[in-house]
Chains A and B, each alone.
Chain A
Amino acid sequence: MQDINVLVVFCSRTEPLALAAALGCVQAKANIRLRWLREAAGGETMENRRHMEQEYIAPRAVDAEWAHAILIGVHGEPPEIKEYLDSLNALRSEGKLAAKTETVFLAVPDAQAGSQSESQSWPPATLESARLQGRQVAEAARAMKATHHSSTAV
């Protein structure tokens, strides 16, 4: 079985979705890295901010270079996401990302837009969807890697 690495990048609000997606990746036997895209204006409690700062580091270039798939889960369109996507494009243009590295956006339902409630408030069905999406992304990355290997081996 192909060894697959998935980088999961998320913001404070989507942490539970990212964790669920990461679990799906692990269930698909992928290695994961969880990285917090720190928002300048998170609208979150001090306690949660502290928790995020304590638990996660920001995505680094080496994380993207390590990944076969990048799963991005953000709420709305924070300015930080454009900056991050630009950094990925720069890496890609420098040839530092694997040829088959895919960037996929985690589905974040609109129904949650604007909500500042505690992160644990995501409905179980939404978390389950995130888990399934994580699993699908890992499986797709594995299939793509296998295809890439077999085509380059010919």
Chain B
Amino acid sequence: MITIRRSQERGHADHGWLNTYHTFSFASYYDPAHMGFRSLRVLNDDRVAAGRGFGAHAHRDMEILTYVLDGSLVHKDSMGEKRTFGANTVQAMSAGTGVVHSEFNASETDPVRFLQIWIEPSVEETEPSYQQIPFDPAEKSGRLRLLAAPKEGVNGVPAAVIHQDAFVYAAVLGAGETLQRNLAPGRHAWVQVARGNLTVNGHTLAEGDGAAVSAESELSFSGAGPDGSEFLLFDLA
């Protein structure tokens, strides 16, 4: 069963410096019918103006992934990390017992666009941690590139380790390019189109669309439209 979450149905807030779309309830957007999917709790598509960002704020007991699509971010936190990162990098912060952090657009001239993802951990009160893993864009071209997993180095691929039975992948498919993926029995998936157009098991998805997948054994992806697609796949318990 595949349930589509259309881009235009998402929560939306435009604060001037921040233009954000919420796939699930977040901040002032609340819809009890869209509180998350399995352990995936937040999926925000954020565009932050040049030189602007989120001042110091706190998190607890959440696995927070950030995936930059355009531009770059500066991150600072109470663990002493101060890092800058851009596209083709997964940033993961396990908030655990508590983290205070800030994140700003690293550029004074260009906007930054990124997906921010919150996954509920299976265990609470863990030691906070920060991971930042860059990769070659060729690794997501025509195939699924693992971004995060509950264990280190699945199939030798460096990925962020998170405290949840969830595997997060990124892929880029050109127009007409296809990709197959099995979904193990009892597993669920969320597909989020970051850019372009995609078909999933015959369903057409546009940029910003998402799809909840349950009771399916195989996923067939195909890049659609003139430019294909970049998308994230969440394989969830």
A interface, CB within 8 angstroms of B:
19-20, 22-23, 25-27, 29, 31-32, 34, 54-57
Closest chain B residue to A16, Cβ basis: B78
The answer on a CB contact under 8 Å between A26 and B100 is yes
Q: Does B184 contact A (CB under 8 A)?
A: no
The answer on a CB contact under 8 Å between B58 and A23 is yes
The answer on a CB contact under 8 Å between B56 and A27 is no
Q: Does B137 contact A (CB under 8 A)?
A: no
Label chain B's interface by main secondary structure: strand
The answer on a CB contact under 8 Å between B78 and A56 is no
Label chain A's interface by main secondary structure: helix
The answer on a CB contact under 8 Å between A22 and B58 is yes
Closest chain A residue to B104, Cβ basis: A54
Which are the 4 A-B pairs with shortest beta-carbon distances? Answer: A26-B98, A55-B55, A26-B58, A27-B98
The answer on a CB contact under 8 Å between A56 and B55 is yes
The answer on a CB contact under 8 Å between A27 and B97 is yes
The answer on a CB contact under 8 Å between A32 and B58 is yes
Residues A23 and B57 in contact in the complex (CB < 8 Å), given A54-B104, A55-B102: no
Q: Complex: how many Å from CA A39 to CA B59?
A: 28
* B57 / chain A contacts, CB cutoff of 8 Å: 32, 34
B86-101 near A? 1/0 per residue, CB < 8 Å: 0000000000011110
Q: Complex: how many Å from CA A22 to CA B59?
A: 11
Q: Which of B47-68 contact A (CB under 8 A)?
A: 51-53, 55-60
Q: Which of B71-110 contact A (CB under 8 A)?
A: 78, 97-100, 102, 104
A–B pairs, 6, beta carbons within 8 Å: A19-B78, A29-B60, A31-B58, A32-B57, A54-B51, A55-B56
Checking A23, A55, A56, A57 against B98 with a beta-carbon cut-off of 8 angstroms, the contacting residue is: A23
* Total count of chain B residues near the partner, CB < 8 A: 16
* B104 / chain A contacts, CB cutoff of 8 Å: 54-55
Q: Complex: how many Å from CA A27 to CA B97?
A: 6
Q: Complex: how many Å from CA A25 to CA B98?
A: 9
Residues A19 and B100 in contact in the complex (CB < 8 Å), given A26-B60, A29-B60: yes
Q: Complex: how many Å from CA A23 to CA B56?
A: 11
* A57 / chain B contacts, CB cutoff of 8 Å: 55
* A27 / chain B contacts, CB cutoff of 8 Å: 97-98
* B102 / chain A contacts, CB cutoff of 8 Å: 55
Nearest-Cβ distance from residue A96 to partner chain B, whole angstroms: 22
* B58 / chain A contacts, CB cutoff of 8 Å: 22-23, 25-26, 31-32
Q: Complex: how many Å from CA A55 to CA B100?
A: 13
Nearest-Cβ distance from residue B103 to partner chain A, whole angstroms: 10
Q: Complex: how many Å from CA A20 to CA B97?
A: 14
Closest chain A residue to B101, Cβ basis: A19
Checking B55, B78, B99 against A20 with a beta-carbon cut-off of 8 angstroms, the contacting residue is: B78
Checking A22, A25, A29, A31 against B56 with a beta-carbon cut-off of 8 angstroms, the contacting residue is: A22
Question: A23-B99, A26-B100 known; 9 other A-B pairs, CB under 8 Å?
Answer: A19-B56, A22-B58, A26-B58, A27-B98, A32-B57, A34-B55, A54-B104, A56-B56, A57-B55
| Interface hub of A27, A31, A56 (most chain B Cβ within 10 A) | A27
Closest chain A residue to B78, Cβ basis: A23
Nearest-Cβ distance from residue B81 to partner chain A, whole angstroms: 13
The answer on a CB contact under 8 Å between B56 and A34 is yes
Nearest-Cβ distance from residue B193 to partner chain A, whole angstroms: 32
B173-216 near A? 1/0 per residue, CB < 8 Å: 00000000000000000000000000000000000000000000
* A20 / chain B contacts, CB cutoff of 8 Å: 78
Closest chain B residue to A28, Cβ basis: B98
Q: Which of B15-72 contact A (CB under 8 A)?
A: 51-53, 55-60
